[in-house]
Structure 1
Amino acid sequence: GHLYLAVPPLYSIRQGGKVAYARDDAHKDELLRTEFTGRGKVELGRFKGLGEMMAAQLKETTMDPRKRTLLRVDVNEIDSATKDRVDELMGTKPEARFRFIQERAEFAAAEVLDI
């Protein structure tokens, strides 16, 4: 099979009724230089994760086949340990994902979590 990652935008840019989304810093700078040259306040927002996006924004930017960016993940030669881990994390059994997280939760320091 094939594995693709949907890549959400990193920034939202607003000026008046105009809205654009930038995938990275370079794209943001380009949009600010070329598309948002008019008068008026430019509002810049940064998404830290999908949880910060409204459902409509997620639909418009990340799920819309005409606008989304997909990153194809190529695994040329997959060993059995890697295959097992991918199946564990992305397979149909939520218990395996839960077990994986629980076994590694002790390594997460509270100061690095976004809470």
Structure 2
Amino acid sequence: MTTPLPADPSASAKSSKAALGIIFLTVFIDLLGFGIVLPLLPRYGEYFQADGFQLGFLSASFSAMQFLFSPLWGRLSDRIGRRPVLVFGLASTAFFYLMFGLVTHWGVEGDILGF
């Protein structure tokens, strides 16, 4: 079975470039959010009486989880599509950044999540 080609190949290339641009923008915004939080960690560490190890563990946990779960999210996006996975990821990131800003003492995140 053959797939019909678009009437204008340049239109397909333009839409492909636009989709790629949106994905790059999404990743940039996600990493920008992570980068904005990092300079605030020492202040949060003082406020929550966390030592250097705990702050290092907190900042390293982002990269470690990204390393572990990227293949799983990639496989899921191959199965159900890129858009739902990206939208879920951005919504989750926004929720957890909001939660990060609302925390006033250790354990609040568990209260918010129902643990």
TM-score range, shorter chain: under 0.3
Higher strand share: 1
TM-score norm. by structure 2 comes to 0.23
Higher helix share: 2
More relative contact order, 1 or 2 (CA 8 Å, 6+ apart): 1
TM-score norm. by structure 1 comes to 0.23
